[in-house]
Amino acid sequence: MISIKSAREIELMREAGRLASRTLDMIADYIKPGVSTEELNQLCHEFIVSHDAYPAPLNYKGFPKSICSSINEVICHGIPSKKDILKEGDIINIDVTALKNGFHGDTNRTYYVGEVSPEVRALVEFTREVTHKAISIVKPGIRVGDIGHLIQTEAEARGYGVVREFTGHGLGRQFHEAPSIPHYGRPGTGPKLRKGMTFTIEPMINLGTPDLHVLSDGWTAITDDGKWSAQFEHSIAVTDNGHEILTLSN
Ligand code: MF3
Ligand code: CO
Ligand code: CO
């Protein structure tokens, strides 16, 4: 069942979403060579709890940290660690989910660590742009498959791989609720969008193969060919005749 949120519930989701995006704004200044992902985790954790919210990844299905931090060939669900130190030329995705007043806000960005190669920069900029292009078509009456079709078509035209094992998702009182929002698919298929639905769009786009494996920690998802992967995520509400991005930054 896909839950429909009232105007008041969307107001609360806007608050949770704004806090998550402000956390990503805050952490940007700390992303530099020499910093560990554990330090980034601590900073985000303190920021979120100091704003009367809870970092939803912490203890979610056993996840041990407050954010996901995914470097280079790590696609998603990287676990912050003192041993993971950023170096010049890396890319890192930070994924923040804030639970505030009973509702979730879920957003992520891929950041550059100093200067990155032109090939990687093109991947990251493409991923940012295709995320916004997919968001731009969201309105009542379109279908979930229309979103995935747009992302898959644009990515594969450039020779990029689209990850299938992880998708966008409904979001609200639950961290992950119906519907699933695949980043691939066929137009005119899947559930129809209605006003009051809230979900994420969060494509993971790879320089090479879309295929992945999960490390023995049970979380860290890595490209099979070791090529790098980028991701951006926003939480979206369907409105009367379009959409609202709940996780915009300043
Ligand atoms: N924030 C991720 C998402 O976008 C989910 C992370 S689950 C965790 O859906 F357990 F790894 F935190
Ligand atoms: Co999400
Ligand atoms: Co997320």
Q: How far apart are CA 222 and CA 243, in angstroms?
A: 32
Q: What is the pLDDT of residue 249?
A: 84
Quote the strand ranges of the chain, DSSP E: 54-55, 68-71, 74-76, 91-100, 103-112, 161-162, 168-170, 177-181, 198-201, 204-206, 212-214, 221-223, 229-231, 234-238, 243-245
Q: What is the pLDDT of residue 141?
A: 98
Cα–ligand 1 centroid distance for 172 (angstroms): 14
Q: What is the pLDDT of residue 124?
A: 99
Q: What is the mean pLDDT of residues 175-192?
A: 98
The answer to whether 102 and 17 have CB atoms below 8 angstroms apart is: no
First to last CA, the chain: 34
Among residues 196, 247, 223, the alpha carbon closest in space to that of 70 is found at 223
Q: Model confidence over 201-221: pLDDT tens digits?
A: 999 999 999 999 999 999 999
Q: Residue 250 — very low, low, confident or very high, per pLDDT cuts 50/70/90?
A: confident
Residues ≥6 apart with Cβ < 8 Å to 149: 184, 185, 186, 187
pTM for this predicted structure: 0.99
Q: What is the pLDDT of residue 143?
A: 98
Q: Model confidence over 65-89: pLDDT tens digits?
A: 999 999 999 999 999 999 999 999 9
Give the nearest ligand 1 atom to 97 CA: 1
Give the nearest ligand 1 atom to 57 CA: 12
For a ligand 1 pocket test, name from 60, 70, 231, 246 the mutation site with the most ligand atoms within 8 angstroms of its C-beta: 60
Q: Model confidence over 96-152: pLDDT tens digits?
A: 999 999 999 999 999 999 999 999 999 999 999 999 999 999 999 999 999 999 999
Q: Model confidence over 30-75: pLDDT tens digits?
A: 999 999 999 999 999 999 999 999 999 999 999 999 999 999 999 9
The answer to whether 237 and 244 have CB atoms below 8 angstroms apart is: yes
Give the nearest ligand 1 atom to 67 CA: 12
Superfamily of 7-245 according to CATH: Creatinase/methionine aminopeptidase superfamily (3.90.230.10)
Q: What is the mean pLDDT of residues 238-248?
A: 97
Ligand 1: residue whose CA is nearest its atom 2: 95
